[in-house]
Amino acid sequence: MRIYLRPTAFVDTPFGLDGQVLRLAGGLLWFSAIELIRVEDGRRVETTLVPVDRLEEAFAALPGMLPEKAEEILARIVAPRAPLQLGERVVRLDQPQVMGILNVTPDSFSDGGRHVGDPAGAAGAGVAMAAEGAAIIDVGGESTRPGAATVWEGDEIERVRPVVMALARSGNAVSIDTRKAAVMEATLAAGAHIVNDISALTYDDRSIEVVAASTCPVVLMHIRQMPAAGTADDVLIAVYDWLEERIAAVEARGVARSRIIVDPGLGAGSFGKRVRDNMALMNGLSLLHGLGCPILLGASRKTFIGALSSEAPVERRLGGSIGLAVLGAAQGAQILRVHDVAETVQALRVWRGLRDQALTPGM
């Protein structure tokens, strides 16, 4: 049997609730209860809602070594996430931050190759995103849409390196979205600060070595075909377990957990998620705080938004994208990877204003 803890029952303010609430990951959210989940063979066998002030009692009643495991998970849930030192910039993770998506591919599902062959224009678009409020610019040179061709690493480097270099030189925090070790090496040397690998460092055997040899943070994304419809497997638990295994494997190769960011990998196609899977992951997102790593959420313009809104095409998914971004922030996601920076930043500023008002004594 395994246990999982999902913080829930969030409250507007902790004032007057001493001993009844805990702070989530050192951020702007406080929760008053935990879903204590027991799992056997990938299936939930029990879910109990435990108030924070009764956690000690609930943990003590668990069999074997599970009380110690529960305390370990809870400590990870409440531990503050350290700020990211990204070149000249410090990105705090006690509040949600926006990562702007900058594709330099000819076949991106979202922008149709707008910046291919124009590194100066691409860099300018990244600078504009930063001006709109993006804390990090995520540069990618290979499409991950279903059916997209694999890009030779030399071509990928040629696409992304000048853009990364220009953005880094202008003082921006830059992430490189790639699964290839050679591209990681070339762009880290050009000034990239984060490696964002959709394969969680499984695609290229050398990628873990490259990341371990650097000091950069790394995003490990869940990418695995989900169980077939009608099986007993729990999608949220499956994603948690897979990410936990990848964290352990990467740690064993020399990458400290403090450098790891996790991404549940929302999306259909190559990411292997059905509409119901994506919804389950969004509804239960706060479970992933038990991994003790910052959470990156990439829900922007995803296919399942269209599926839930009369098959809206990609250019008409802004409302759904913002809705999911705010829901992610409300469950403690620290980084929101988006296409529509200005609109998302505005939504988060409103959300942050509401939080600030609730957390101001006497208001």
Which residues are the active-site residues? 302, 337
As beta bridge partners, residue 195 has 176, 218
Q: At what angle do helices 318-330 and 275-283 cross, to 10 degrees?
A: 40
- Residue 210 · residue 216 · CB < 8 Å: no
Nearest by Cα to 186 from 204, 160, 217: 160
Q: Which residue has the tokens 């004594």?
A: 361
- C-alpha to C-alpha distance for 297 and 285, rounded to whole angstroms: 9
